[in-house]
Amino acid sequence: MNRPKRVAITGAAGQIGYQLCFRIASGDLLGPNQPVILQLIEIAPALDALKGVVMELEDAAFPLLAGVEATADLETGFKDADYAILVGAKPRGPGMERADLLSENGKIFGPQGRALNAVASRDVKVLVVGNPANTNALIAQANAPDLPKENFTAMTRLDHNRALAQLAARTGIHHTSIRQMTIWGNHSSTQYPDLHHTLVAGKPAMEAEGVDASWYESDFIPTVQQRGAAIIKARGASSAASAASAAIDHIRDWALGTDGDDWVSMAVPSDGSYGIEPGVIYSFPCTCENGQWSIVQGLEINEFSRARMDATDQELREERAAVESLL
Ligand code: NAX
């Protein structure tokens, strides 16, 4: 058996954290031959609830679970972590402006970045799920100067998977036969789900049965952008199992590699590719190999896409400006 990998999760007693713990302990993150140690982090008032999660993990007797720790102390929780999934965040309260939300979250992600910098594995791979995820990742990254900048990412994989599901439903082709889906930009309503490079059963998605410009612009794009709100309306609670599943997809593909000529959507530090502002954490089409992601290069960008890619870039620049003092 391999040496156990340490996976830290913040917000571990919350609804996404609760799903993540059991999926990871059962081997869904790193495969059936990789033992894991879970390092679960919560704020002090949630430690009792977290104790219950630990008891359930013990009771599940997972063969791959080599240990569980539960703590409210960041340096204990991130010690030697190989992976850190940052889920706990401050939700938007009534009347709260975006700038307030960003600065409240800065108070969480700044200290978390500093703790990762101090005690995590020097190659810790970080995924931020807690919203506003892209800019929270930027804050954590800025506070961890000794760690590789490219190891700080944010989650748009749920949006990617939602886009696959919508296109599969429209075309009647199973999502496993759809490749090269792209979400550009911010995990917010400005995100741009792009079908211009997507293949459905090997053929261009924009020419697939049931797909035309009107459906794409007036139905597909807004449905993907607003799927989170539709789930809240139907379930009375925000997406949890699908969000945890997407977080697992994100880390698994990053660690173990993407499939052949397919790619995935990951929010990563922009290197200026496709004219996007360098430094912002922007969702690009990415391939992964040997634990490293790379942005897919050379895709042709038409005018329609350009305008939407720039709008979501603009939003990320504004978010960055709003948290400048924390960077
Ligand atoms: P919950 O409110 O169920 O759980 C959050 C947990 O985080 C709570 O148990 C809370 O005690 C804990 N927490 C808060 N501050 C913390 C801190 N400083 N350190 C450690 N733990 C802390 O929320 P849940 O539904 O699990 O959602 C968590 C976050 O994911 C939210 O910010 C949400 O907006 C975000 N999402 C992001 C998505 C994405 O695609 N990027 C999709 C799903 C989800 O909406």
Q: pLDDT grade, residue 54 (50/70/90)?
A: very high
At 150-207, the pLDDT tens digits run: 999 999 999 999 999 999 999 999 999 999 999 999 999 999 999 999 999 999 999 9
Pair of tokens at residue 120: 């995590």
Mean pLDDT for the stretch of residues 15-42: 97
CA dist., res. 155 & res. 22, Å (int): 19
Ligand 1 centroid, distance to 286 Cα (angstroms): 25
CB 198 within 8 Å of CB 182: yes
Active-site amino acid positions: 187
Quickly tell me which residue has 């594995």 as its tokens. 121
Q: Determine whether the annotation assigns residue 67 to a binding site.
A: no
301 contact partners, CB below 8 Å, separation of at least 6: 274, 309
Average confidence (pLDDT) over 138-159: 98
State residue 304 phi and psi, 5-degree precision. -60, -50
Among 260, 262, 280, 267, smallest CA distance to 320 is for 280
Q: Is 155 exposed, middle or buried (0-12, 13-18, 19+ CB in 10 A)?
A: buried
Q: Is the ipTM of this complex over 0.90?
A: yes
Q: How far is the CA of 247 from the centre of ligand 1 (A)?
A: 13
What pLDDT is recorded for position 92? 73
| CATH architecture of the domain with residue range 5-154 | 3-Layer(aba) Sandwich (3.40)
* Angstrom distances, CA of residue 112 to CA of 9, 63, 132: 11, 30, 15
Q: Which of 74, 238, 242 maximizes ligand 1 atoms within 8 Å of its Cβ, making it the mutation to test the pocket?
A: 238
Residue nearest (by alpha carbon) to ligand 1 atom 32 = 130
CATH 3.40.50.720 boundaries in the chain:
5-154
Query: What is the overall mean pLDDT for the chain?
Result: 96
pLDDT tens-digit map of 78-134: 999 999 999 999 877 777 777 788 888 989 999 999 999 999 999 999 999 999 999
Q: What is the pLDDT of residue 93?
A: 72
> Does pLDDT of 10 surpass 80?
yes
Q: Pick the range with the lowest mean pLDDT from 10-19, 88-97, 107-116, 236-245.
A: 88-97
Residues of the chain with CATH 3.90.110.10: 156-326
Q: Decide: 148 and 236 in contact? Cβ < 8 Å.
A: no
Ligand 1 near 16 CB (within 6 A): yes
Do residues 130 and 161 touch, judged by C-beta distance below 8 A? no
The reported pLDDT for the residue numbered 175 is 96
Over 90: is that where the pLDDT of 267 sits?
yes
- The answer on whether 162 is annotated among ligand-binding residues is yes
Q: Which fold has domain 156-326?
A: L-2-Hydroxyisocaproate Dehydrogenase; Chain A, domain 2 (3.90.110)
- The alpha carbon dihedral of 76, 82, 86, 87 has a sign of negative
Q: Which residue carries 């449905």 as its tokens?
A: 223
Q: Are 224 and 163 a contacting pair, CB within 8 Å?
A: yes
**pLDDT tens per residue across span 296-320:** 999 999 999 999 999 999 999 999 9
pLDDT attached to residue 292: 98
Instruction: Determine whether the shortest distance from the Cβ of 326 to ligand 1 is under 6 A.
Output: no
pLDDT band at 60 (very low <50, low <70, confident <90, very high): very high
Beta bridge partners of 40: 9, 70
Ligand 1 centroid – CA 129 distance (Å): 7
Q: Answer yes or no: are the C-beta atoms of 159 and 165 closer than 8 Å.
A: no
